Amino acid sequence: MISAAYIASAATRLELELKIIRHFLLHPHAKEVRDAFVAAEMKERTESMKGFLAQKADRDRLDDLLAPSILRSHERWLENNLHHLKEFSENRLNQMELILRYALFEGFLQKIIGNILWEYPALRNRGIHAGLERKSSHKKCYDYHKRTLQQHPEGERIAWTIATVEAVDHLHFDQWKREATGSGTVYLWKYLNDAFGLAFPQKELWPTLERLRRIRNHVVHRSLELTISGDRMKDTQVYLSNFPTLLVQTAAKPYPKACTEEPPDEGDDGTPAYVLHVLLKDYF
């Protein structure tokens, strides 16, 4: 069972940790702090240069003359460009924050869906699952886990649940701009509605989650050069932090064996029972 109170607590903890990071790394730099940073950086560069020259087999007098010049040039560059580097570093922090928030968000979605599917096995018979089962990725995952769990009395059921949760994890949240879709296209909002009977009326919810998914994938898989705007960071904080809690609250009434609004038992992080079966290998 997974608890909305636990999810909210974990999101709040991450929020605090990110605030601490931003406060200490992006606090307006007083002159002495800036000078201390430059001094520490130059000390490290100087030691590195000394080490390089000491190991250079063909070291000559010209090397010893050039080294101080190179170091002074780097020091001037740092002093003149530190404010630009600060702005660049802030975007790196934005990228890091989005990736961390998305990782927490994605992990909770997997736990919520996994708990519901495991505690309510009859949901397997709903039509939308037949479409997921036809995907080659689902079949491959299912066959692999069924084979490795063949000695477990619940092995087939565990294998199906693992494969289905993984398939759902790969669904897009909503149709993207000018994106072509086929008749069998399934988005997460449709899956939650058809599989669990859960609907969310918030108009901007699914397009915003899809945008954040694409931003996260761009940063992780394509390029770190993407600048993340203040508006997108607000979306990250609001939607990625709050939707898992909303999902559990909405599912708590129809699926009380899987979701609750009550605080969890000590040590219970909402990991579904089928995952524990695999992790503990209690079938040996």
199 burial type by CB count under 10 A (0-12 exposed, 13-18 middle, 19+ buried)? exposed
pLDDT tens, the chain, 284 aa long: 888 888 888 888 888 787 777 766 666 555 566 677 777 878 888 888 778 777 777 777 666 667 788 878 877 766 666 555 555 567 778 888 899 999 999 999 999 999 999 999 999 999 999 999 999 999 999 999 999 888 888 889 999 999 999 999 999 999 888 777 766 788 999 999 999 999 998 889 999 999 999 999 998 888 877 888 888 888 988 999 899 999 999 999 999 999 988 887 887 788 888 787 666 554 44
Residue 81 main-chain phi, psi, to 5 deg:
-120, 5
Structure tokens at 70: 């190179």
The residue ranges of every structural domain in the chain are 2-25+90-280
For residue 123, the 8-state DSSP code is G
94 vs 168, 210, 244, 250, CA distance in Å? 27, 18, 21, 30
Residue 188's nearest CA partner among 273, 272, 112 is 112
Residue 126 half-sphere exposure, CB side, CA atoms within 13 Å?
A: 15
